[in-house]
Amino acid sequence: MSTIPPILLVGCGRMGSAMLAGWRERGLAPSVAVDPAPSAASLAGPDLTVGFTPAAVVLAVKPQSAAEALPPHARFAGDAVFLSIMAGRTIGGIRALLGATAAIVRAMPNTPAAVRQGITVGCPGAGVTRDQGMLCRTLLEAIGTVAWVEDEGLLDPVTAVSGSGPAYVFLLAELMEQAAIEQGIPADLARKLARQTVSGSGALLAASPEDAAALRKAVTSPAGTTERALQVLMAPDAWPSAMHRAIDAATKRSRELAG
């Protein structure tokens, strides 16, 4: 039995396909996915049309493709809610491409959605009805945890922290693996140590009522090996400064993508 009404998915890359898999697990009604990539368009042909009215149009294309990919779906404004996961693209900018009557929810998920462990922050635009908001909540909860904000401006730093954040974690695992190999640990064991340490620590953090700082202090014995390592990582010009600069750079880029 279908619990999610028909959806039009525009863009079926990593994030779009992850969301689609989550919806299918929840009971997605027969829907349509549209990929605006040139290769897909050449295969579909110019006469392809969508023969149904979706309850929601999910905009999962790259923000740089919005000007070309969105206008063909403006005909659904007034009937469907548009759920955008395009980084940087504002509700106002999306409405300019879809028409003044478009009901738009802007959201930023992240790639752990692929294993239903994502975190998404959403912001409803003016004119989104209660039912449309609930539908968007259902779609986003299928891939993990959802939080909501009323200030759309917060979605730019959200993008920098959680949207881009998985890459920072993967970089940590990558660097740990490289450093382990430099210390003489065999490559296969180095990878296993780095990956399991990162994933296990994340699981511990998720399960613990303590904050990250408390957990860090708990594993840091005075004058021990961890303390010695943290003296390097937490030096003023090391991780603290680098992370602040990284989040700031990503936030600024998100704002630039507004076009």
Residues 80 and 31: their CA atoms lie apart, in Å, by 13
- Interatomic CA distance for residues 190 and 13, integer angstroms: 31
Alpha helices in 55-186 (DSSP H): 66-69, 91-98, 130-141, 155-158, 165-182
DSSP type of residue 226: H
Residues 27 and 72 in one domain: yes
Q: Which domain holds residue 179?
A: 165-256
Domain annotation covers residue 2: no
Q: Does 169 share its domain with 243? A: yes
Q: Please tell me the total count of domains within the chain.
A: 2
Q: What is the mean pLDDT of each run of 10 residues along the chain (259 residues)?
A: 85 90 91 67 47 88 94 94 97 97 97 96 97 97 97 97 98 98 98 98 97 97 97 95 97 90
Domain-located, residue 222: yes
Residues 6 or more apart from 156 whose CB is under 8 A from it?
Answer: 88, 251, 254, 255
- Helices (H) and strands (E) counted in the chain, each on its own, are 11, 7
Query: What pLDDT shows up at residue 12?
Result: 87
Same structural domain for residues 200 and 87?
Answer: no
Q: Within this chain, do residues 144 and 179 fall inside the same structural domain, yes or no?
A: no
Give me the pLDDT at residue 45, please: 47
Per the CB < 8 A criterion, the answer to whether 90 and 106 are in contact is yes
pLDDT for 37 equals: 59
Q: What is the pLDDT of residue 198?
A: 98
Residue 34's pLDDT is 76
Please tell me the predicted confidence (pLDDT) of residue 52.
72
Predicted pLDDT at 3: 84
Same domain, 174 and 149: no
Q: Which of 98, 125, 154 is the last residue of a domain?
A: 154
Looking at residue 48, which CATH number applies to its domain? 3.40.50.720
Q: How far apart are alpha carbons 39 and 48 in whole angstroms? A: 14
Beta strands in 28-167 (DSSP E): 32-34, 56-59, 81-84, 103-108, 118-124, 144-148
What gap in Å lies between CA 82 and CA 136, rounded to an integer? Answer: 9
Residues 150 and 203 occupy one common structural domain: no
Residue 39: the pLDDT is 57
What's the Cα-to-Cα distance from 191 to each of 109, 147, 170, rounded to whole Å?
27, 33, 12
In-domain check, residue 1: no
For the chain, the distance separating the N- and C-terminal CA atoms, rounded to the nearest angstrom, is: 42
Contact criterion met (CB below 8 Å) for 176 and 44: no
